[in-house]
Amino acid sequence: LDADPVANGADGKLVALARELSVPIMTNDYGLNRVAELQGVTVLNVNDLAKAVRPVVLPSEEITVRITQEGKEPGQGLGYLEDGTMVVVENGARHLNTELTVTVMRVLQTVGGRMIFAQPKGEIVEARRPRAASH
């Protein structure tokens, strides 16, 4: 590493070591990020990772979504945000093929991505009760 002309300073030495070991660098330092990328070293930016897991929206926020299909449960409508996040809208089926302003009730992170549960703005939708097991 000491003989490497690129490895000047701490950033250069980190990049040279990462390249030598074929490992990525995790950082929130813009300068180190830039140097590593220019040297072909994979960079995991902590700020980008935090942004990726942050909720798109929070409960009580209003969003607009186009209802494109009916959901699994009676009356539900489904729509998708630009990033592919599924929005399940209670009483949304009657708004099929229309843009609808909805109030976010909860956000669920799954292995398949995020799901947003919402209801049409200004409507109070009764919470679903679990179905009783039939014997």
User: Considering the domain boundaries, does residue 97 fall inside one?
Assistant: yes
CA distances from 103 to 1, 24, 85, 106, 131 (A): 56, 40, 15, 9, 25
In residues, how long is the chain?
135
Give pLDDT, residue 69. 97
User: Pick from 118, 82, 120, 78: which is nearest to 101 by CA?
Assistant: 120
pLDDT tens digits, the chain, 135 residues: what are they?
Answer: 455 555 678 999 999 999 999 999 999 999 999 999 999 999 999 888 877 777 778 999 999 999 999 999 999 999 999 888 999 999 999 999 999 999 999 999 877 778 999 999 988 766 555 455 555
Give pLDDT, residue 3. 54
* Cβ count within 10 A of residue 93: 17
Q: How far apart are CA 94 and CA 88, in angstroms?
A: 13
CATH number of the domain that 86 lies in? Answer: 2.40.50.110
Same domain for 96 and 71: yes
**Sign (positive/negative) of CA torsion 96, 98, 100, 105?**
positive
Q: How far apart are CA 134 and CA 115, in angstroms?
A: 29
Same domain for 104 and 72: yes
Give pLDDT, residue 117. 97
Name the strand (E) or helix (H) holding 17.
Answer: helix 9-21
In which domain, by residue range, is 101 found? 62-120
- How many domains in the chain? 2
User: Considering the domain boundaries, does residue 67 fall inside one?
Assistant: yes
Q: Is the pTM of this model over 0.85?
A: no
Give pLDDT, residue 116. 96
Same domain for 67 and 116: yes
Same domain for 68 and 46: no
